[in-house]
Structure 1
Amino acid sequence: MTQHLPEITRLQLQRGRRQRVNIYLDEEYAFSLQLDLAASLQRGQRLSAAEVEALKAEDAYRAALDRALAFLEHRPRSRREVQDKLIGEDCDPIPVERVLERLEALALVDDARFAEWWVSNRLQHRPRGERALRHELRQRGIDEAVAQAAVQGLDEHELARRVALEQAERYRGHDRQRFDRRLGSWLQRRGFGWEAVRGALDHAWRQVETSDPGDASTQG
C-alpha cells in the first residue's frame, strides 16, 4: 500500500510578519517557515514526514542564528552567554548547539578572545583586581585556564596604586586608620589582593598627606 504524502496546497505570507510563510498541507495549516526557506517549496509538492521535520529543524536553526547574531551586535560574547541567551528565549537545545558551532567556525564566538577583551575593557572603564576579573570570566563560562591566561601579565600592584589614587580624595581628612579601613575595603571588594592593597594604601596616603585638596588623583 502506497503511503499518502500530504500535498502543499497553499503558501501564504503571514500578516504583519511578511518574512514568514504559512504552509498548508491538504488545505490545512501545518507550519510556518522563514521566507527564504519557503522559497524552495511550491504548490503541488508533496512532503514526507521526514522532510517536514527537516524543514522545521532548519527553520529553528536559522531563527536561533538570527537571534545570536543580533545579540552579538552590541559587544563580544562568550559561548556561555550566547547559549544562555538562546535557551532563555526558548530556543531548542539542538539548533542552539549547531548555532554555537557555526559562530565558532566563523570566529564570531571565541572564548579566549572574549576573555582578553573583557579584561581590557574592565581595566579601561571599571578596574578590578585579578581575583575579581577571573571570577567575572568564570561567571560567563570561561574556562579557568583561559581566564588565567587573560589576566597573565597584569600588574596588580600598579593598577591598585592607580585606582587607590583616583579614590583617595574621598577619604581626605580621615586619620590613617580610618583611611586604610575604608579605602582598603573598597579595593578588596574590587578583587585586589592584600599585598597590592597594602602598597596602594601607603602610596595613596603619602599623596593625600603631601598634596593640596583635589590634587591627590593627579600624582604618580
Structure 2
Amino acid sequence: MPIITKITVQKNLSDRYNIYLDEKYAFSVDEEVLTRFQLKKGKELSELDLTEIGYEDEIRKGVNSAIQYLSYRMRSEKEVVDHLRKKEFTEEIIKEAIHKLYKLQYLNDLEFAIAYVRTQMNTTNKGPEVIKLELKNKGIHKEMIETALLELKEDHVLSSAIALVEKTIKQNKSLPEKIILQKMEQALLRKGFSREIIHQAMDGIKIEQDEEVEREILYNHWLKAHKKYQHLNGYEYEQKIKQFLYRKGFSLDQIEGFLREIEL
C-alpha cells in the first residue's frame, strides 16, 4: 500500500494540503478531511481509503463553494443546489453537501423566505402575488411562503400600492386621464396587488392636469391623426380622427369639442 511521505500547505489556499505518496504528489485535501482521516506522514493508505478520502473531499469542496456563495447574502436551498450544479458537482455530492449545510445552519428556507419578504417590503413596491411567485421560483414550499407572507401587513401593502399609483401619475403627466388610470391599474396588477387593494389605492384619485397642457396633448395627437388620414374626406375622415383620438384615451366630449374648435 502507498505511504504518505510528505504533506504541504498549498500556497494560495491555506486550508488545503498537498498529499505525497511514495515521494510523488498524489492529491490535495481540505483541512477538515485531513483531520478526520488523521492523515500524517508515514500512514499507509489502501484503495478503499483513497476512495473514501476523495469522496469526502469532494463533498467538502461542495460545502466550501456553497458557503462562499452564501457569504454575499442569504440563499434558498434551490439557489444553492443550482449554484453547485453550475459548478458541475454530481447530484450525490450536492445532496451530501446540502445535508451538511443544514447541519451547520447555513441553510433555512423559512428564515430565508421571511427575510426575503421583509427586504421586498422595505425596498420595493411589489405586491403579495409577485413576492409569492418569486419565492415559489426560488423553491420555497407553499406552507413556508404563506408563513413568510404574514409579514406583509395590509396597511403596508396599501401604502405600497398608493406609492405606485403616485409614481405612475408622475411618470405619465403628458397622457390623458383615461390612459393614466389604465396604466395605474396595469402597473398594480403587474406588481401583484389584489383587486381589493387596487380599488382602495385608486379610490378617489384625482388627476389634475393643466387645461392648456391637456389641449396641447390633444392637439399633438390630432396632428398625427390628420397626417395619417388627410387623404380621406368628409364623414370617413372625421370618424377615423375620432377613433384615433378615442383610442389615445380622450373622451368623446373632449374630442368633439376640440374638433369644433379647430373648425372655427
| TM-score > 0.5 by shorter chain | yes
Q: Which residue of 2 aligns with 1:103?
A: 101
- Consecutive unaligned residues of structure 1, counting only runs of 5 or more, are 211-220
Distance 1:35 1:114, change over 3 A: closer
In 1, the alpha carbon distance for the partners of 2:113 and 2:32 equals 36
Q: How many residues align?
A: 204
In 2, the alpha carbon distance for the partners of 1:192 and 1:183 equals 11
- Consecutive unaligned residues of structure 2, counting only runs of 5 or more, are 210-264
Whether 1:21 aligns to 2:22 is: no
In 1, the alpha carbon distance for the partners of 2:114 and 2:184 equals 28
CA displacement, residues 130-153 of structure 1 (integer Å, 9 cap, x when unaligned) = 111111001100012211222135
Whether 1:81 aligns to 2:79 is: yes
Which is further off, 12-21 or 127-136? Answer: 12-21
Q: Which residue of 2 aligns with 1:64?
A: 62
Q: Which residue of 2 aligns with 1:185?
A: 186
CA displacement, residues 36-88 of structure 1 (integer Å, 9 cap, x when unaligned) = 54463233321011211222222222222222222222221111111111221
Task: State which of 13, 26, 29 in structure 2 corresponds to 1:30.
Answer: 26
Map residues 121-132 of structure 1 onto 2, 5 A cutoff.
Answer: 121-132=119-130
Structure 1 position 167, deviation (Å): 3.4
- The amino acid of 1:209's aligned partner reads E
Q: Which residue of 2 aligns with 1:142?
A: 140
Which is further off, 105-114 or 22-31? Answer: 22-31
Which is further off, 96-105 or 65-74? Answer: 96-105
Whether 1:197 aligns to 2:207 is: no
- The amino acid of 1:111's aligned partner reads D
Q: Which residue of 2 aligns with 1:217?
A: none
In 2, the alpha carbon distance for the partners of 1:137 and 1:171 equals 31
Map residues 205-216 of structure 1 onto 2, 5 A cutoff.
Answer: 205-206=205-206, 208-209=207-208
RMSD of aligned C-alpha atoms?
A: 2.5
- The amino acid of 1:190's aligned partner reads K
- Higher helix fraction (1 or 2): 2
Distance 1:21 1:143, change over 3 A: same
The structure whose Rg is larger is: 2
In 1, the alpha carbon distance for the partners of 2:174 and 2:202 equals 15
Which is further off, 45-54 or 30-39? Answer: 30-39
Contact 1:171–1:183 (CA<8 Å) still a contact in 2? no
In 1, the alpha carbon distance for the partners of 2:111 and 2:61 equals 26
Quick one: percent identity of the two aligned structures? 25
What TM-score does the superposition give when structure 1 sets the normalisation length?
0.79
Question: For 1:209, what is the secondary structure of its paired residue?
Answer: coil
In 2, the alpha carbon distance for the partners of 1:19 and 1:104 equals 22
- The amino acid of 1:6's aligned partner reads P
CA displacement, residues 11-46 of structure 1 (integer Å, 9 cap, x when unaligned) = 344454454333233344332112454463233321
What TM-score does the superposition give when structure 2 sets the normalisation length?
0.67
In 2, the alpha carbon distance for the partners of 1:140 and 1:202 equals 34
